[in-house]
């Protein structure tokens, strides 16, 4: 089930965990959910609260997957990100910047 925040769907990353606890596989599950949501809705919020282990590989997978489907503007403007810690947010920022570089932006 997807929550709503100001009429925007909220996907909780902790609901998209691979059965084998593989981090990149979990990121792929979340990416698929984001892509499916953006096909029907103009925006989505992704809440990383409750995620104990998030790495740059995890965030790179999510960001690259969404950008690959909808373009770089999607990861900038269509997706809002919520974090549970400053450390998590910093890892995300580094991944976000790296993905933008990789995409030539």
Closest by CA to 52, choosing from 20, 92, 85, 97, is 85
Antiparallel, parallel or unpaired: β 79-82 and 3-5: unpaired
Over range 68-76, report the average pLDDT. Answer: 94
pLDDT band at 5 (very low <50, low <70, confident <90, very high): low
pTM over 0.85: yes
Is the pLDDT assigned to residue 2 strictly greater than 70? no
At 99, the pLDDT band (50, 70, 90 cuts) reads very high
Long-range contacts for 18-22 (Cβ within 8 Å, ≥24 apart)? none
Domain boundaries, the chain: 3-102
Q: In angstroms, rounded to a whole number, what is the distance separating the alpha carbons of residues 59 and 24?
A: 9
**H-run or E-run covering 47:** strand 44-47
Q: Residue 80: in which H helix or E strand, if any?
A: strand 79-82
């Amino acid at each position: 089930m997807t929550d709503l925040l100001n009429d925007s769907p909220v996907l909780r990353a902790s609901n998209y965990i691979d059965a084998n606890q593989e981090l990149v596989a979990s990121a792929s599950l979340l990416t698929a959910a984001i892509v499916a949501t953006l096909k029907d809705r103009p925006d989505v919020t992704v809440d990383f609260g409750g995620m104990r282990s998030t790495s740059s590989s995890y965030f790179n997978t999510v960001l690259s997957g969404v950008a690959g489907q909808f373009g770089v503007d999607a990861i900038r403007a269509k997706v809002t990100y919520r974090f549970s810690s400053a450390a998590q947010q910093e890892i995300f920022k580094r991944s976000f910047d790296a993905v933008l570089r990789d995409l030539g932006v």
